[in-house]
């Protein structure tokens, strides 16, 4: 596997030798001193070029970076095909056979003034024309957990309870994927919002738990982390039910804390009423013991 230095040297060398590439920045975890940086970390690179079309009309040039395992072009997707006559941004997500990965975005220099509005962490690796709008941004404030307004808090609690009913319905019908989808894809994000708010309060809203909450373990005690791990069910209906009530009670404990700290109203009456309904529904089907 090529080292970080080898990868960076290659990225910079390409930009130096190609006059059409006028600036280079690095975003993502490698530009953020607080992020995890290891051999799995992507190289999130942006080339600011004189004309994006020069780099999208023929894709063969990306093979100069190494032996490509697979490449994806998210801007050119079946539901939103890319207009190759345009100069809109374009990205190559490149996984190399040696384990390295470059997420390479092409931006047209005609739009570089918009970078003044960018507040995400980045390092400026090259700026041939000294564009004033291209400044290094070493801090991650843009990713910090944001405190909710009371309406968002209320709606999140309401949505969590509402979606809990979907899980129970899927279990009672023995519709496994319906129940798992409702739990994993719909219900858990509401729970994670509440857990993030609690984490934000504990840390004065000056932290981020990262994409998909991947850094949560930094902020949870060993006991809290163990409790968190136990809310993920497998494909067994009894386990889904058990986890549903673990999640339900955990969520409303967190909601009570958040409401108390932010001086919000917490509708414990609705929470208890829905819980009792879930107990009765699942007990009638033999799933709550």
Q: What CATH number is associated with residue 51?
A: 3.30.460.10
> What residues have CB less than 8 Å from 215, skipping those under 6 apart?
36, 208, 209
C-alpha atoms less than 13 angstroms from C-alpha of 108 in its C-beta half-sphere: 12
Q: Which of 96, 119, 142 is the last residue of a domain?
A: 142
Q: Which of 90, 120, 142 is the last residue of a domain?
A: 142
Instruction: Name all contacts of 165-171 with Cβ < 8 Å and 24+ positions apart.
Output: 165/274, 165/277, 165/278, 167/240, 167/244, 168/241, 168/244, 168/278, 168/281, 168/282, 171/237, 171/240, 171/241, 171/244, 171/282, 171/285, 171/287
Dihedral, CA of residue 27, residue 31, residue 185 and residue 278, to nearest 10: -150
Looking at the fold, whether 135 and 60 belong to one and the same domain comes out as yes
Closest to 63 in 3D by CA, of 105, 94, 106:
94
Q: Is residue 69 part of a domain?
A: yes
Q: Is residue 173 part of a domain?
A: yes
Q: Is residue 76 part of a domain?
A: yes
Three-state SS letters, the chain: CCCHHHHHHHHHHHHHHCCCEEEEEEECHHHCCCCCCCCCCCEEEEEEECCCHHHHCCHHHHHHHCCEEEEECCCCECCECCCCCCCCCEEEEEEECCCCEEEEEEEEHHHHHHHHHCCCCEEEEEECCCCCCCCCECCCHHHCCCCCCHHHHHHHHHHHHHHHHHHHHHHHHCCHHHHHHHHHHHHHHHHHHHHHHHHHHHCCCCCCCCHHHCCHHHCCCHHHHHHHHCCCCCCCHHHHHHHHHHHHHHHHHHHHHHHHHHCCCCCHHHHHHHHHHHHHHHHHCCCCC
Q: Is residue 188 part of a domain?
A: yes
Looking at the fold, whether 129 and 188 belong to one and the same domain comes out as no
Q: Is residue 41 part of a domain?
A: yes
Looking at the fold, whether 151 and 254 belong to one and the same domain comes out as yes
Q: Is residue 289 part of a domain?
A: no
Q: Which of 122, 142, 162 is the last residue of a domain?
A: 142
Looking at the fold, whether 243 and 277 belong to one and the same domain comes out as yes
Q: Is residue 61 part of a domain?
A: yes
Q: Which residues of the chain have pLDDT under 50?
A: none
pLDDT at residue 41 in the model: 84
Residue whose tokens read 């345009």: 86
pLDDT at residue 97 in the model: 95
Looking at the fold, whether 78 and 89 belong to one and the same domain comes out as yes
- Rounded to whole angstroms, the Cα distance separating 59 from 56 reads 6
Looking at the fold, whether 190 and 131 belong to one and the same domain comes out as no
Q: Is residue 190 part of a domain?
A: yes
Looking at the fold, whether 85 and 194 belong to one and the same domain comes out as no
Looking at the fold, whether 138 and 149 belong to one and the same domain comes out as no
pLDDT at residue 36 in the model: 66
Give the global pTM: 0.81
Task: Give backbone dihedrals phi and psi of 113, rounded to 5 degrees, phi first.
Answer: -60, -25
pLDDT at residue 234 in the model: 92
Looking at the fold, whether 160 and 268 belong to one and the same domain comes out as yes
* Number of domain units in the chain: 2
pLDDT at residue 118 in the model: 81
Looking at the fold, whether 157 and 244 belong to one and the same domain comes out as yes
Looking at the fold, whether 151 and 134 belong to one and the same domain comes out as no
Looking at the fold, whether 120 and 219 belong to one and the same domain comes out as no
Domain that holds residue 19: 4-142
């Amino acid at each position: 596997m090529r080292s970080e230095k080898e990868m960076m040297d290659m990225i910079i060398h390409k930009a130096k030798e190609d006059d059409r590439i006028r600036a280079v920045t690095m975003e993502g975890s490698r530009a953020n001193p607080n992020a995890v940086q290891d051999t799995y970390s992507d190289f999130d690179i942006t080339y600011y070029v004189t004309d994006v079309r020069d780099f999208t009309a023929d894709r063969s040039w990306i093979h100069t970076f190494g032996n490509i395992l697979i490449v994806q072009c998210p801007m050119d997707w079946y539901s939103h095909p890319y207009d190759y006559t345009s100069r809109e941004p374009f990205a190559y997500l490149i996984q190399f056979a040696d384990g390295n990965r470059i997420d390479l975005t092409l931006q047209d220099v005609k739009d570089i003034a918009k970078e003044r509005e960018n507040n995400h962490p980045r390092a400026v690796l090259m700026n041939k024309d000294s564009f004033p709008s291209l400044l290094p941004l070493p801090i991650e404030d843009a990713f910090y957990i944001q405190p909710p307004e009371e309406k968002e808090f209320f709606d999140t609690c309401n949505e969590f309870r509402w979606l809990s009913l979907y899980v129970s319905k899927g279990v009672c019908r023995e519709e496994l994927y319906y129940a798992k989808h409702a739990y994993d894809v719909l219900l858990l994000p509401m729970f994670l919002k509440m857990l993030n708010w609690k984490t934000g309060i504990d840390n004065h809203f000056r932290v981020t738990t990262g994409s998909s909450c991947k850094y949560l373990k930094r902020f949870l005690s060993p006991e809290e982390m163990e409790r968190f791990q136990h809310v993920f069910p497998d494909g067994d209906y009894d386990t889904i039910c058990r986890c549903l009530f673990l999640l339900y009670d955990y969520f409303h404990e967190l909601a009570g804390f958040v409401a108390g700290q932010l001086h919000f109203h917490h509708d414990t009456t609705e929470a208890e009423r829905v819980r009792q309904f879930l107990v009765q529904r699942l007990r009638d089907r033999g799933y709550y013991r």
